[in-house]
Structure 1
């Protein structure tokens, strides 16, 4: 049975899945995405990192970090096995947690080339928005938003 658990991105139990995500991103897009955790604040409850565990194997991860008091950003979404409902389970958990933390909306960025991710977020009722923050002017980036 798939379980979603709150974790710490720096825990050794999480490192295998975050390293696999980084390798996957690097191979597909030439960038590993590791810089998204350089300012991670484990003492702030508005920062949430989760792992997905199937039996005893860690098969996915995802995170939310605050951009403002009411706006969170989804980061580091990854499912080791496609089409097994792992990503949807992680995203649903993060959205529920975001509501508990009184976020009113979630935003995220992915690569234009990452057609699977774009389709995934559209199916999850995210809408495409103009690029925000550091993604403004980046033609390889596409941004999405969902009101909670």
Structure 2
């Protein structure tokens, strides 16, 4: 995890002030208050993330993302995550996310079915086994606790 955090340091995304989106500043290196207008982060600034082929049920989904902040101990991560259409499975961490673009159906094994789209806030529990059917490329802002 530390090596991954080091790779992410110093990359080109820019934090946006909530009061003035015209002025941008570099990403904070330490926990600090900041805002990012998630829909405006270009796809080119998202990094490819490996998707285990065993997780792919159908289609050819591609996952990208950007870590915006990670706690020094690696137990909390905040960032942007995106997936193209397809069907994938996952075992979740403790996560809160807000969908900013796209649509998906998330089936939680032994639980309900979540229909998510722009503006949806979702909480997933650590250990939830999920199947994601991504209808439109989905982008979310997230906070994960390990």
Q: Under a length normalisation based on structure 2, what TM-score does the superposition of the two structures give?
A: 0.31
Q: More helix per residue: 1 or 2? A: 1
Which is higher, the Rg of structure 1 or of structure 2? 2
Q: Which has the higher contact order (CA 8 A, sep 6+)?
A: 2
